[in-house]
Amino acid sequence: MAVNNRIVFITGANTGLGYEAVKALYTSSNTYTILLGTRGLSKGEAAIATLKQQNSSSQSTITPIQIDVESDSSIEAAFSTISKDHGRVDTLINNAGAGFDRSIQTGELSIRDAWQKSWNVNVAGTQVLTTTFIPLLLKSSSPQLMFVTSGTSALSESGRMDYPPLARINASPAAGWPKQEQMNPITCYRSTKTGLNMLMREWTKILKEDGVKVWAISPGFLATGLGGVGQEQLKKMGARDPSEGGQFIKDVVEGKRDEDEGKVIRATMIQPY
């Protein structure tokens, strides 16, 4: 698989795991054309400026692309821009995602609105974006399609208690109603990520004869601040540095997990369904 000069489009890339993936690619010994997807161009430009200041010797290029996965017009505009300026996408990394469980606790969103918004961002928006960009992906000589999922999405591990982070989220609360509020509620978040895993399997089937390698990337418990919990608090709960997730994504882009295509992958294993 050709690695140098790949055009890589990453959504949700101005912060968190997406930014760490951009950073890992930008500092790689390989050369990339990185399209940094961001809802706000000013935030994307600020992220790029910081990265370039810290890594002035990179031969790769980074360009901000305005993209909001909740907006079909935004997706279509991003497609038009990338099509006009680059003509293809070699690697599409669907990283944009969000958790809204805490918004239910605070009363900011109703249960229905939080679930609908979670599904819209984490699955429906990803599906619209992927479908829109397939024509550009199929113009690549070695296309890759990735979906960033969660280690909490595995149905077979929803009762697992031997790993502290899973034991914490899988533990049953005391009897009675209402239940005590969780520090980091993730019921709708993990449910939509389980749906995203099925979306990956469907795209694996759909693109099998087109030579597209497809994965769901499960980066592990990282201190990204997802869901409104601070990074330091997450680290106290056992979260790892987000840079580890960025390096993992880079490894997949660079062909180190080609034998595991069509699966949900963790850095050191296949994640069970």
As annotated, the active-site residues are 150, 189, 193
Give the whole-angstrom CA distance, residue 81 versus residue 185. Answer: 38
Please answer whether residues 185 and 233 qualify as being in contact, where contact means their C-beta atoms are separated by less than 8 angstroms: no
Phi, psi values for residue 143, rounded to 5°: -75, 145
**What's the half-sphere exposure (Cβ side, CA atoms, 13 Å) at 59?**
7
Please answer whether residues 139 and 212 qualify as being in contact, where contact means their C-beta atoms are separated by less than 8 angstroms: no
Residue 180 neighbours by CB distance under 10 Å = 7
Give the whole-angstrom CA distance, residue 144 versus residue 154. Answer: 23
Please answer whether residues 152 and 186 qualify as being in contact, where contact means their C-beta atoms are separated by less than 8 angstroms: yes
Q: In angstroms, what is the C-alpha Rg of the chain?
A: 18
**What's the half-sphere exposure (Cβ side, CA atoms, 13 Å) at 83?**
12
Smallest CA-to-CA distance from 35 within 77, 91, 73 is with 91
Judged on CB neighbours under 10 Å (0-12, 13-18, 19+), 56 is exposed
Tokens of 174: 């005391």
Phi, psi values for residue 79, rounded to 5°: -60, -45
Interacting residues of 191 by C-beta distance below 8 A, sequence separation 6+: 118
